């Protein structure tokens, strides 16, 4: 229901990891976006392959960015093979947050063997603000339809993971 940017890819090499992290830090500093480094010896990363859940367990490196209080964190967390699979929901933040994250992904793309981006607003592929605005408007219309039934639904809810659930059922 939300406006989410899904992205996954494989970095070219270890030097690409350093470049991606440096570029992201610089991007964040220019916008005064807070960020933290990720350097874990053992984590579990929830992933999907061929429409089936699978977990990566092992070390990770990267960066997590909080572009706005009303967006989900933007995580660039790479496994030991410099592979990334993540998503970020942006619809509750100003529209510029979405467009800026798309801009960042475009700048990072040359450092990947492949970077697949699925932007539910179509902005990544079209660069069309009117299409993005149309998707945002439809998203909020759907959320409002659910929330018009307060005895059945409520939201949005921020989870301890800082992910956002648009609508929750009271059942």
Tell whether 16 is covered by a domain: yes
Tell whether 106 is covered by a domain: yes
- Predicted TM-score (pTM) of this structure: 0.93
**Ordered per-residue pLDDT tens for the chain, 171 residues:** 579 999 999 999 999 999 999 999 999 999 999 999 999 999 999 898 878 898 999 999 999 999 999 999 999 999 999 999 999 999 999 999 999 999 999 999 999 999 999 999 999 999 999 999 999 999 999 999 999 999 999 999 999 999 999 999 998
| Max Cα distance, the chain (Å) | 53
Tell whether 164 is covered by a domain: no
Tell whether 144 is covered by a domain: no
Res 1: pLDDT: 59
Res 48: pLDDT: 87
Q: For residue 130, give both structure tokens.
A: 């009117």
Res 100: pLDDT: 98
Residue spans of beta strands (DSSP E) within 26-156: 35-49, 52-65, 74-78, 83-89, 112-119, 153-154
How far apart, in whole angstroms, are the C-alpha atoms of residue 149 and residue 16? 49
Tell whether 137 is covered by a domain: no
Number of domains in the chain: 1
Res 49: pLDDT: 81
Tell whether 68 is covered by a domain: yes
Tally the C-alpha atoms within 13 A of residue 171's C-alpha that lie toward its C-beta. Answer: 3
Tell whether 169 is covered by a domain: no
User: What domain range includes position 91?
Assistant: 4-127
Res 62: pLDDT: 98
How far apart, in whole angstroms, are the C-alpha atoms of residue 64 and residue 67? 10
Tell whether 157 is covered by a domain: no
């Amino acid at each position: 229901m939300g406006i989410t940017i899904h992205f996954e890819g494989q970095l070219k090499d270890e030097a690409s990891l350093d470049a991606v992290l440096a570029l992201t830090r610089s991007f964040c500093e220019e916008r005064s976006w807070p960020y933290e480094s990720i350097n874990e010896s053992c984590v579990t990363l929830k992933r999907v392959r061929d429409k089936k859940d699978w977990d990566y367990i092992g070390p990770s490196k990267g960066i997590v960015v909080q572009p706005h209080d009303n967006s989900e964190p933007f995580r660039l967390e790479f496994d030991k093979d410099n592979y990334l699979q993540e998503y970020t929901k942006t619809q509750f933040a100003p529209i510029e947050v979405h467009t800026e994250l798309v801009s960042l992904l475009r700048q990072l793309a040359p450092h990947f063997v492949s970077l697949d981006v699925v932007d539910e607003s179509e902005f990544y592929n079209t660069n069309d603000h009117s299409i993005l605005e149309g998707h945002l408007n439809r998203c909020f219309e759907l959320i409002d339809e659910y929330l018009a039934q307060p005895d059945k639904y409520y939201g949005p809810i921020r989870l301890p993971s800082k992910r956002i659930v648009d609508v929750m059922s009271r059942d």
